[in-house]
Amino acid sequence: MDFNIKKICCIGAGFVGGPTMAVIADNCEETIVTVVDINKQKISDWNNSDLKLLPVYEPGLEEIIDRRRNKNLFFSSKVEQAISEADMIFISVNTPTKTKGVGAGKALDLKWIEASARQVAKYAKGHTIVVEKSTLPVKTAESIKKILEAASFNNEEKQFYVISNPEFLAEGTAISDLQNPDRILIGGENKKAVNKLADIYLKWNREEKIIRTNLWSSELSKLTANAFLAQRISSINSISALCEATGADIGEVSLAIGLDQRIGSRFLNAGPGFGGSCFQKDILNLVYLCNFYNLREVAEYWEKVIDINSWQKERISKIVVEKLFGTLTNKKIGILGFSFKANTNDTREAPAIQICRNLLEEGAKLLIFDPKVKPKQIKQDLINTNENDENIQVCTSIYEISKGVDAIIIITEWKEFKDIDWSLMKKNMRSPSWVFDTRDIVDDKEIKSCGINLWKLGSY
């Protein structure tokens, strides 16, 4: 395999494919990077001259796109052409939970992975390194290899090398995570192929950051990392409920335990439950795999992480109803934050969706504000509640959500929510007024001095 990687193709221009390829293109100016997608609208949005309209919002992304787009970074819907010209192909397509058939509700739906592998098998030319970038169940490379080997059988000219290179970026910090990753994991049998990919990362990373493993360890490490991270959140959220019952304070408990170096301080923020497209689907997949390998106890252990996460969202909704005298009928409630975390426009599995649905079901009218999520997206996420649209009003400013509301719930930790003038908000609110802070954003004294009742997650 004595060729240089001159052209890279990435199948999937989503939250991972777009930012990851942008950072590769930015660091490897000699390499042509083409990101392809079957979604033509998405490609057109990536090519939009107004950088504010890119399909993904990430701090620092616009600058890189501005620098590299149409120089050595291209977004295209010509999937076949990009595959046929590439020396290295990243598969970065979506792998959501299956909704029907065998493993429905737990296993990952690999139809987009299989379709990508078949396209690569058909259109790739010469020797091609195929990189699994999507998060996949352990052993998926076996299926990808089978599809590719069928196309390269008895054909010395056309050869494939499959390697695994899971992505660990978090949304909202994707660019800095990509520019300065904790580690880069590459799993594969063919050392030369592994080294070709390592060479790309070495353009801006030190060798010590690169971990080389076998394929299966690489695939499984990704699922395990997400399961461990999510487990920390469920652990701290479970303790937040105990704090509320006893007078302990979750912020103080997090600080106290996090200073133990064996525990560490990160990922100990209690909140409304983890959201995002991956934690839940990846743990469900882990549960499915454990059951598949007859490891029932292990499956049950990880399933509890998800149970606590769902319980946290239900618990918060119930507390709001209880505090507002047991009924929300015709009451207005302001919602601050809809994305699943700050600094992203992504709402997939956002805790706000479930909490809003619960409140709508109780008869509330919602006034919702998020600095980055488009109104259309918010409505789309809530529409199947069978509630009519009149009960959902998407606002364009923080202060607008306070008009006539009995309560305001802070669900996402956007930094602008820290600077709210609560005396102004209070003027618009109905009395008695409530603020429900699920992210430890507000200053207790300030809220109380404005005559607003405060419920803070994890506080007495």
Least distance to ligand UGA, CB of residue 64, Å = 18
Least distance to ligand UGA, CB of residue 34, Å = 23
Contacts (Cβ under 8 Å, ≥6 apart) of 296:
290
Q: Which residue is nearest to ligand NAD (CB)?
A: 14
- Do 73 and 25 touch, CB atoms closer than 8 A? yes
Residues 16-55 that bind ligand NAD (CB under 6 A): 16-17, 36-39, 42
Spot the catalytic one: 132, 167, 219, 349: 167
Least distance to ligand UGA, CB of residue 327, Å = 29
DSSP symbols for 212-236 = EE-HHHHHHHHHHHHHHHHHHHHHH
Of 93-101, 155-163, 203-211, 235-243, which part binds ligand NAD (CB under 6 A)? 93-101
Least distance to ligand NAD, CB of residue 103, Å = 16
Quote the radius of gyration of the chain (alpha carbons, Å). Answer: 24
Which of residues 175, 239, 278, 335 is near ligand UGA by CB under 6 A?
A: 278
- Burial code (b: 16+ CB inside 10 Å, e: under 16) for 112-139 equals bbeebbebbbebbeebbbbbbbbbbbbe
Task: Give the span between the Cα atoms of 257 and 263, in whole angstroms.
Answer: 7
Task: Copy the structure tokens of residue 190.
Answer: 């063919």
Task: Copy the structure tokens of residue 196.
Answer: 């070709």
CA atoms within 13 A on the CB side of 253: 22
Which of 140, 407, 118 is closest to 285 using CA atoms?
A: 140
Q: 3-class SS at 108?
A: strand
Residue 94 interacting with ligand NAD (CB under 6 A): yes
Which of residues 17, 103, 188, 276 is near ligand UGA by CB under 6 A?
A: 276
Residue 336 interacting with ligand UGA (CB under 6 A): no
- Comparing CB distances to ligand NAD, the nearer of 275 and 337 is 275
Residues 310-329 that bind ligand UGA (CB under 6 A): none
Task: Give the span between the Cα atoms of 4 and 129, in whole angstroms.
Answer: 11
Least distance to ligand UGA, CB of residue 353, Å = 11
Residue 15 interacting with ligand NAD (CB under 6 A): yes
Which of residues 17, 103, 251, 275 is near ligand UGA by CB under 6 A?
A: 275
Q: 3-class SS at 342?
A: coil
Which of residues 168, 204, 292, 399 is near ligand UGA by CB under 6 A?
A: 168
Contacts (Cβ under 8 Å, ≥6 apart) of 170:
177
Tell me how many residues contact ligand NAD (CB under 6 A).
27
CA distances from 292 to 7, 9, 142, 189, 224 (A): 39, 34, 17, 25, 16
Residue 169 interacting with ligand UGA (CB under 6 A): yes
Residue 79 interacting with ligand NAD (CB under 6 A): yes
- 271 makes contact, choosing from ligand NAD, ligand UGA, none, with CB < 5 to 8 Å by partner type, with ligand UGA
222 is catalytic: yes
- Comparing CB distances to ligand NAD, the nearer of 116 and 438 is 116
Task: Give the span between the Cα atoms of 277 and 340, in whole angstroms.
Answer: 9
- Comparing CB distances to ligand NAD, the nearer of 123 and 436 is 123
- 95 makes contact, choosing from ligand NAD, ligand UGA, none, with CB < 5 to 8 Å by partner type, with ligand NAD
Contacts (Cβ under 8 Å, ≥6 apart) of 68:
22, 25, 26
Task: Give the span between the Cα atoms of 44 and 53, in whole angstroms.
Answer: 10
Task: Give the span between the Cα atoms of 83 and 28, in whole angstroms.
Answer: 19
Of 43-51, 90-98, 99-107, 163-171, which part binds ligand UGA (CB under 6 A)? 163-171
User: What secondary structure letter does DSSP report for 439?
Assistant: S
- Comparing CB distances to ligand UGA, the nearer of 86 and 289 is 289
278 is catalytic: yes
Which of residues 128, 165, 277, 354 is near ligand NAD by CB under 6 A?
A: 277
Which of 84, 91, 87 is closest to 35 using CA atoms?
A: 91
281 is catalytic: no
- Comparing CB distances to ligand UGA, the nearer of 188 and 273 is 273
Residue 341 interacting with ligand UGA (CB under 6 A): yes
Task: Copy the structure tokens of residue 117.
Answer: 């592998």
Which of 60, 84, 56, 65 is closest to 25 using CA atoms?
A: 65
Interaction site with ligand UGA (CB under 6 A): 135, 167-171, 226, 229, 233, 267-269, 271, 274-276, 278-279, 340-341
Write out the catalytic residue numbers: 167, 222, 278
Interaction site with ligand NAD (CB under 6 A): 11-17, 36-39, 42, 79, 92-95, 112, 115-116, 134-135, 167, 169, 171, 277-278
